Amino acid sequence: MSEPDELYTLRAQYWLGHYALALDECRSAARRPLPPHLKTEREELLFRCHLALGQHDKVVAGTSTAPALQALAIHSQFLNTPAEDRVAVVGTLKTLLASPGAAGNTSVQLTACHVFLAAGKLKEALECVHLGLTMEHLAMCVQIYLKIDRFDLANDALGLLKQADEDSILAQLAGAYIAIAGGRSSAGDAVHVLAGLSEQYGPSLTLLNVTAAANMVGGRYEAAEGNLSAAVEEFGGENDADTLVNLVVCSQHLGKGKGVDAARYLEKLKTGCADHPFVQGLVQVEGAFERESAKYLTA
């Protein structure tokens, strides 16, 4: 008979976006006797929860020599550094990745993958996880392959996830992402999976946003609007970049793109989330439009 997984609940809460609950579970787990490898994982998840909640001041490696905690501290530094100054932080991470103590450390590789993705370095991000050494590595592979439109490879990675544990939360989430990427015909499958996770573990900002995306892909914009309203009312989604992007997109499809609420969401995005890819793309398009329109005004 296998030993019970003492961190199952903690991992589940983290993966589903229940970060405050995961922090409580971290504190609870700290009071229980754990083998050394689970103590280390608990510390890593504690840092990761703080990062997800924007509590960057609490993610400090201090005197710890654990490479995984050092990598998470670098991740925190990256998020707190202006976009134009992040090259040096990425360089520090690359140095850690290449150091003897961190070589082959799957936790360091995972954190590096997240940082490289945020920096727009897809090749480097994939190099960190492409061997699929852990379930989280495989889940990140799915996301990266979808990002580069390699649905075949994403499905291969999902297959490996299911081989390891077909009922795992990561396998279910990865399957939902692939279903959403598959378009209108499979979006309903994603909604079904996400509804099951929400019913079992409770809704979260993450689950509501992914469900809204699935509903929009399936053409169910009223349902998506309901998901996003819940994200705002129950989880403070009006201060979350992904929720704001989804609200702007959903408003456009519902014919509310010129309304007061849509304008407010867009303004909050531009002022508070200037580094978000959606905002950067929007600013680029607006700039191109203004340059072209100026030609006709001066003609």
Name the residue ranges covered by the structural domains of the chain. Answer: 200-299
| pLDDT band, residue 298 (cuts 50/70/90) | low
**Does 176 have pLDDT greater than 80?**
yes
Calculate the CA 159 to chain-centre distance.
Answer: 21
Is the domain 200-299 a CATH 1.25.40 member? yes
Give the integer Cα–Cα distance in Å for 100 and 57.
28
Higher pLDDT, 194 or 63: 194
Percent with pLDDT over 90 in the chain: 77
The confidence band for 1, taking pLDDT boundaries of 50, 70 and 90, is: very low
- Can you say how many angstroms the Cα of residue 232 is from the centroid of all Cα atoms in its chain? 18
Write out pLDDT tens, residues 124-149.
Answer: 999 999 999 999 999 999 999 999 99
d(CA 192, CA 237): 22
pLDDT of 2 over the 50 cut = no
Residues 6+ apart with CB under 8 A from 215: 187, 191, 221, 223, 224, 227
Polymer length of the chain: 299
Q: For residue range 29-69, what is the model confidence (pLDDT) as tens digits? A: 999 999 999 999 999 999 999 999 999 889 987 767 899 99
Q: Report pTM.
A: 0.92
- Amino acid (1-letter code) at residue 262: A
| Mean pLDDT, residues 208-224 | 98
Query: Cα(211)–Cα(244) distance, rounded to whole angstroms?
Result: 14
Mean pLDDT of 228-249: 94
How far is the C-alpha of 244 from the C-alpha of 264, rounded, in Å? Answer: 9
CA 195 to chain centre: 19
Under a CB-based contact definition with an 8 Å cutoff, are residues 109 and 136 in contact? no
Packed helices 205-217 and 184-201: angle between N→C axes, nearest 10 degrees: 160
pLDDT at 293 over 50: yes
Residue with the larger pLDDT of the pair 255 and 158: 158
How far is it, in rounded angstroms, from Cα 275 to Cα 176?
26
Token couple for 287: 């700039």
